[in-house]
């Protein structure tokens, strides 16, 4: 049998593309080497959110007296939380399998390798079987970066070091957890283990946490976690992983942090080893498949979506890219607008951003005005967070007064950012945003209010 589309990888890019393509009448094959749902469902977005929700409930219980509610014996059972996470993941992964089956998509369990071209178009091998099809969509995702820091690889082999994969199955709660990298994974895991009682030390080589997050907001987040007991070592260069410790240099001085476990969360790299890129002359750059905004590669009939293109490395980008690739295969011109992709850090408080930050706008030479407003302007925010220090920050084009970017730290940030993404995508003028009625009382009202401060 010859397929209309053969997809390598069943993560958010691959499974969504498979569904969209099958709905449009294509005969689709998905080759998945581990589990449907990919990193997002099995060892990323969903498991971490399950853990973080339990931690949030526990945090609420610990601080409930501030709201007139008493608990004398709030406790968290980490292994119960891990089991619940496994159940949630199983349900969702099963759901994807069932949906693909219903749509008539064939799924082969095995990592797909492109063998080259044949009379049908392309040939693929997975789990010892060969398949042929007209088109290929590469959605093989990414893997955790493990740089050549002495002792790092060995630490992962011994179980002392963990990536995002192993930490999600850790049964015991480490007394001391060292986190290398103060990016998204590092901060979310620091948040969980801090809530459930570990002492967490974050070692970050830059002078700030949160990577591209607005600096003012990253600082508020850092202060929140410092108050909760997390230690931040900024500007720390990790030199080696020892026995029960992480060695680092800070301001020219060597030092070390003792810990029971260490999480390595210093970024991810596209997964292209073994996919057979060379068999069809697929162009890679620093290990990533090169794609344009239509998700086309340099080879006609071959598309790529998700982390494997190294562009945005977010599940929701992958999801959209898979969709865009299929639309273009069907002759519908569709493109990914990489400027208005929201990003969220699911800490407590949450951080969400879209579009430009003050720094990114300035580095591009854009003439912008930036203003912040406290979320305490919102009655709902104050009712729920008397001690909160959340803010929203707007980046506005100086000439047309159009919204170019927005960052927010505080409750519900993750749920309100999609609306802001639409405003940024449409480069809405503040005067247009002001014509919308926002529901009251909500935290997002502050966004509308902030537009009047320009």
- Positions that interact with ligand NAI (CB under 6 A): 44, 180-186, 188, 203-206, 211, 238, 265-268, 313-314, 343-346
Nearer to ligand NAI, 108 or 162 (CB): 162
In angstroms, the Cα distances linking 245 to 169, 179, 230, 258 are 21, 11, 17, 4
Of 142 and 327, which CB lies nearer to ligand NAI in the complex structure? Answer: 142
Separation of alpha carbons 318 and 330, rounded Å:
19
* Nearest residue to ligand NAI, scored by beta-carbon proximity: 183
Cis peptide before 145 (omega within 30 of 0): no
β-strands 199-204, 176-180 pairing: parallel
Smallest distance from ligand NAI to CB 193, Å: 15
Contact (Cβ atoms closer than 8 angstroms) between residue 233 and residue 204: yes
Token digits of residue 7: 């997809």
Exactly one of 78, 208, 271, 440 is catalytic; which is it?
440
Q: Is 440 a catalytic residue?
A: yes
Q: How far is the CB of 394 from ligand NAI (least distance, A)?
A: 22
The closest alpha carbon to 163, from 248, 262, 69, 258, belongs to: 262
With tokens 């493109």, the residue in question is: 335
CB of 370 to ligand NAI, least distance (A): 22
Query: Residue 193 or residue 346: which is nearer to ligand NAI going by CB?
Result: 346
CB 28 within 8 A of CB 158: no
CB of 389 to ligand NAI, least distance (A): 21
Residue closer to ligand NAI, measured from CB, 180 or 361: 180
Give whichever of 152 and 282 is closer to ligand NAI, judged by the CB atom.
152
**Smallest separation, CB 422 to ligand NAI (Å):** 19
- Residues taking part in catalysis: 440
């Amino acid at each position: 049998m010859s397929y209309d589309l053969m997809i390598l990888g069943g993560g958010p890019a691959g499974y969504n593309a498979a569904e969209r393509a099958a709905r449009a009448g294509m005969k689709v094959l998905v080759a998945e080497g581990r589990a449907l749902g990919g990193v997002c469902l099995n060892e990323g977005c969903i498991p971490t959110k399950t853990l973080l929700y339990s931690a949030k409930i526990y945090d609420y219980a610990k601080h409930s007296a501030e709201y007139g509610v008493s608990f004398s014996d709030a406790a968290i059972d980490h292994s119960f939380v891990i089991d619940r996470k496994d159940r949630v993941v199983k349900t969702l992964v099963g759901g994807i399998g069932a949906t693909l089956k219903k749509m008539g998509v064939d799924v082969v369990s095995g990592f797909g390798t492109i063998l080259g071209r044949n009379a049908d178009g392309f040939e693929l091998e997975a789990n010892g079987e060969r398949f042929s099809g007209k088109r290929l969509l590469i959605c093989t995702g990414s893997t955790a970066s493990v740089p050549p820091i002495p002792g790092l690889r060995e630490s992962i082999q011994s179980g002392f070091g963990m990536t995002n994969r192993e930490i999600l199955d850790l049964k015991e709660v480490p007394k001391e957890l060292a986190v290398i990298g103060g990016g998204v994974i590092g901060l979310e895991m620091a948040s969980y283990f801090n809530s459930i009682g570990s002492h967490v030390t974050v070692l970050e080589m830059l002078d700030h946490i949160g990577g591209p997050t607005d600096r003012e907001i990253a600082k508020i987040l850092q202060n929140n976690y410092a108050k909760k007991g997390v230690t931040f070592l900024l500007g720390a260069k990790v030199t080696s992983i020892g026995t029960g410790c992480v060695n680092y240099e800070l301001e020219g001085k060597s030092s070390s942090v003792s810990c029971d476990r260490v999480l390595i969360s210093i970024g991810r790299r596209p997964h292209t080893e073994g996919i057979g890129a060379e068999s069809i002359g697929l162009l890679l750059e620093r290990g990533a498949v090169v794609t344009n905004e239509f998700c086309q590669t340099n080879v006609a009939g071959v598309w790529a979506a998700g982390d494997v293109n190294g562009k945005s490395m977010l599940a929701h980008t992958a999801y959209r890219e898979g969709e865009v690739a299929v639309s273009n295969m069907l002759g519908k011109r569709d493109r990914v607008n990489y400027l208005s992709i929201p990003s969220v850090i699911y800490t407590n408080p949450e951080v969400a951003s879209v579009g430009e930050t003050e720094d990114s706008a300035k580095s591009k030479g854009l003439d912008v005005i930036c203003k912040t407003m406290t979320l305490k302007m919102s009655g709902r925010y104050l009712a729920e967070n008397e001690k909160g220090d959340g803010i929203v920050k707007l980046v506005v084009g100086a000439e047309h007064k159009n919204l170019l970017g927005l960052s927010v730290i505080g409750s519900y940030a993750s749920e309100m950012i999609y609306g802001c993404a639409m405003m940024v995508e449409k480069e809405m003028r503040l005067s247009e945003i002001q014509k919308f009625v926002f529901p009251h009382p909500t935290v997002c009202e502050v966004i509308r209010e902030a537009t009047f401060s320009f």
